Structure 1
Amino acid sequence: MVKSRKTLSVIAASAILALAGCTSAQETGSSNPESETSSQSASAIKTIEDNFGSHEVKTPAESIVVTDNRSFEILDAWGVNLAAAPKQLIPSTIENYKNNDEIVDIGNHKEPDLEAMAAVNPDLIINGQRFSQYYEDIKKLNPDATLLEFEPRDGEPVDEELKRQTLALGEVFEKQDEAQKLVDDFDKAKARAKEAYDSEQTVMAVNVSGGEIGYVAPEKGRFFGPIFEWIGMKPALEVENASDDHQGDDISVEAIAESNPDWVLVLDRDAAVKSDATPAEQVLKDNAALQNVSAFKDNHLVFAPGDTYTNENIITYTETLNSMADEFEKAK
């Protein structure tokens, strides 16, 4: 059949368009221009505010280093892959990071291998807690990386700082909904513990390490300190010049017994770092001086999760607050 001039013109035009499309795909290095556009739009630059100001962060990051103990559990739950981390400081409960041979170990905060960190060419570093002291060194060794730190700032409420960190990480890793849920769960647990607490009962927090019992001061003491203020708990004992020492302040068990707390909150420091240590519960219950204390007679002891000392993030606090609420409610 003989084609009309009009038909031939349409065929020619179609061929030209098809050729142009092929040429365009070849120039972009892709046979699927739509896929190329989608890939380009997947990357973005975000402005994130941390302790040191505003930073531009490329998302998604390709090589990620994390040194901050408060971040590991959160990022693991979100499926974030790490290039390097101080694996000796990662809690054993976070198996995906702790036992991952593909993650380069940069040592611990006492003898860090910062060169090993630089060797993975990070484009994003989440620094903090035990590694805060190395901020300037890390920055100098990794000039092309975005360095973020959300360590709770002095003078700021710890609960708000935990939420700030969580929400910022949600922005960095495109997990805004998940981050908000962690914050909501934390707020609910805090409100629940406050509601369940009997304001007439006294509370003491202790830190057990190396078989020794240390005093954790309300407000400033390690981990449990801020909870006193959040819940409005009545301290059984207040010590002058108390600190936030990682082993607690040195007071005698006789002083603890004399204060006769109705509740004792316990942080087992060794549980997170020593597999062969005597459990805190045994240390406390085997101590003859404490046997007549109300909290021990009534079994009003609340233990923080075993990995708390190396895992003091918003999830750990949420779990602890819910445990406190459980025990307070049972006692009513």
Structure 2
Amino acid sequence: MKNWKLLSVILASLLFVLAACGGADESTAPEKDTASEEQTASETQTENAEGPAYPMTISPTIASTESEEAGTIAFEDVTLEEMPKKMVVFDYGFLDTLDAIGVEGIVGVAKDSTLPAHLSKYAGDEYASVGNLKTPLLEDIAALEPDVIFISGRQSAFYDQLKEITPNVIFVGTNQDDYWNTFLASTEIAAEMFGKEAEVQEHISKIDSAIEEVKALGSNYETSLVTMYNEGKLSGFAKESRFGYIYDIYGFTPVTDDIASSSHGSDFGFEAILEFDPQVLFVIDRTAATGGESNIEKDMENDIIKETEAYKNSKIVYLDGPLWYLSGGGLQSELAKIQEILDELK
């Protein structure tokens, strides 16, 4: 009997231990599963997080261009392994866009040309000068060790030399044959590279609204002419030109289609303006854009021009030179250009 009681005690003890072990397994297993689930959720969240996905391949806004110095220049796609942290920006339009959407990391700009007023902060000492819009300072750029260099037409002759500094040289400029679409393409590059799609779209929406307003205004006039003033001389611009979007996008009707297409316009004398006699005369001040002393109103409002309908009705619209000649193609500048016309003609 004593042996049986002893055996019962031993069996009870064993069952207690086994139950305890089983309870321990049940209590620790959920903790392990929870940790695994949290890790999986974290990985999924990272994969689905909004933002630019690198490596990323960027295509230029145009495939090639012609240069008097270098002939035909073909621009290549650029593959970036990660978002650039140090950038040199030559094109004022693209600089404008980067500034508008709050991109940081710009270390060098073409400060030796006339910066538009809304980009004046880039004249500060925290941004290195990399030359002017036509002549890059190659050694100074190399010293900055940029991750990427953004260029446009004025620097295209230096494309190969800049690629020796970094292979990541991206053409982001506009093209006079397709100005508006190349402008939009440049903003898409900025949006994609820096994960700023929402910010870019917000600005584009404002531009679209302004375009509708200026088109309604432009329809009030039967004829218009876009000209550029340069040290007392004038050039006229056709629909197929760098300022043709005033006709095509803004909705103003050209007074004539008989103007040769050229990046700097066709020679256009005061007598020709009187002969065509546009209701609205737009005048872009290139002299002011290039740092010269401008006498635009004195030169323009001569006895010949005073005979035009545009002068008699106060419809000569003087357009800001640095804004129109140097910094077009940016989110801020494109809106500012439309607003300038609205302010002058409303």
TM class by shorter-chain length? 0.7 to 0.9
Shift of 1:187: 2.0
Shift of 1:318: 2.1
Cα pair 1:267 1:303 within 8 Å, conserved: yes
Of 57, 62, 86 in structure 2, the residue corresponding to residue 47 of structure 1 is: 57
Q: Write out per-residue CA displacement over residues 3-40 of structure 1, whole angstroms, 9 at most, x where no aligned residue.
A: xxx9xxx9xxxxxxxxxxxxxxxxxxxxxxx9xxx9xx
Which residue number corresponds to residue 169 of structure 1? 190
Of 254, 260, 271 in structure 2, the residue corresponding to residue 235 of structure 1 is: 254
Of 237, 240, 256 in structure 2, the residue corresponding to residue 217 of structure 1 is: 237
Cα pair 2:52 2:193 within 8 Å, conserved: no
CA 1:289–1:228: 2 relative to 1, 3 Å:
same
Shift of 1:220: 3.0
- Give the counterpart letter for 2:173 in structure 1: E
Which residue number corresponds to residue 282 of structure 2? 265
Cα pair 1:127 1:147 within 8 Å, conserved: yes
| Superposed counterparts of 1:109-188, under 5 Å | 109-143=133-167, 146-153=168-175, 155=177, 157-188=178-209
| Superposed counterparts of 1:313-328, under 5 Å | 313-314=329-330, 315-328=332-345
Which residue number corresponds to residue 213 of structure 2? 192
Q: Following the alignment from structure 1 to structure 2, what is the Cα–Cα distance between the partners of residues 111 and 56?
A: 26
Cα pair 1:90 1:97 within 8 Å, conserved: no
Q: Following the alignment from structure 2 to structure 1, what is the Cα–Cα distance between the partners of residues 259 and 318?
A: 25
Which residue number corresponds to residue 132 of structure 2? 108
Of 204, 228, 235 in structure 1, the residue corresponding to residue 225 of structure 2 is: 204
> Which structure has the bigger radius of gyration?
2
Q: Following the alignment from structure 1 to structure 2, what is the Cα–Cα distance between the partners of residues 167 and 310?
A: 20
Shift of 1:236: 1.9
CA 1:319–1:253: 2 relative to 1, 3 Å:
same
Shift of 1:326: 4.5
CA 1:197–1:116: 2 relative to 1, 3 Å:
same
CA 1:185–1:132: 2 relative to 1, 3 Å:
farther
Shift of 1:227: 1.8
Cα pair 1:48 1:56 within 8 Å, conserved: yes
* Secondary structure, aligned partner of 1:235: coil
Of 283, 298, 305 in structure 2, the residue corresponding to residue 290 of structure 1 is: 305
* Secondary structure, aligned partner of 1:307: helix
- Give the counterpart letter for 1:243 in structure 2: S
Structure 2: tracts of 5 or more residues without a match = 1-19, 25-41, 63-74
Paired residue total: 288
Cα pair 2:223 2:255 within 8 Å, conserved: yes
CA 1:280–1:316: 2 relative to 1, 3 Å:
farther
Q: Write out per-residue CA displacement over residues 198-237 of structure 1, whole angstroms, 9 at most, x where no aligned residue.
A: 365210111111122x232222334x32221223432223
- Give the counterpart letter for 1:227 in structure 2: I
Shift of 1:109: 4.4
Identity %: 25
Cα pair 2:238 2:260 within 8 Å, conserved: no
Q: Following the alignment from structure 2 to structure 1, what is the Cα–Cα distance between the partners of residues 229 and 335?
A: 21
Shift of 1:306: 3.9
CA 1:170–1:279: 2 relative to 1, 3 Å:
farther
Shift of 1:110: 4.3
Q: Following the alignment from structure 1 to structure 2, what is the Cα–Cα distance between the partners of residues 327 and 88?
A: 30
* Secondary structure, aligned partner of 1:65: strand
Structure 1: tracts of 5 or more residues without a match = 1-5, 11-33
Normalised TM-score (structure 1): 0.76
Cα pair 1:204 1:265 within 8 Å, conserved: yes
CA 1:225–1:268: 2 relative to 1, 3 Å:
same
Cα pair 2:239 2:254 within 8 Å, conserved: no
- Give the counterpart letter for 1:98 in structure 2: A
Shift of 1:320: 2.1
CA 1:256–1:73: 2 relative to 1, 3 Å:
same
Q: Following the alignment from structure 1 to structure 2, what is the Cα–Cα distance between the partners of residues 244 and 87?
A: 23
Cα pair 2:238 2:258 within 8 Å, conserved: no
- Give the counterpart letter for 2:98 in structure 1: L
* Secondary structure, aligned partner of 2:112: helix
Which residue number corresponds to residue 23 of structure 1? none
Q: Following the alignment from structure 2 to structure 1, what is the Cα–Cα distance between the partners of residues 114 and 198?
A: 25
* Secondary structure, aligned partner of 1:169: helix
- Give the counterpart letter for 1:255 in structure 2: A
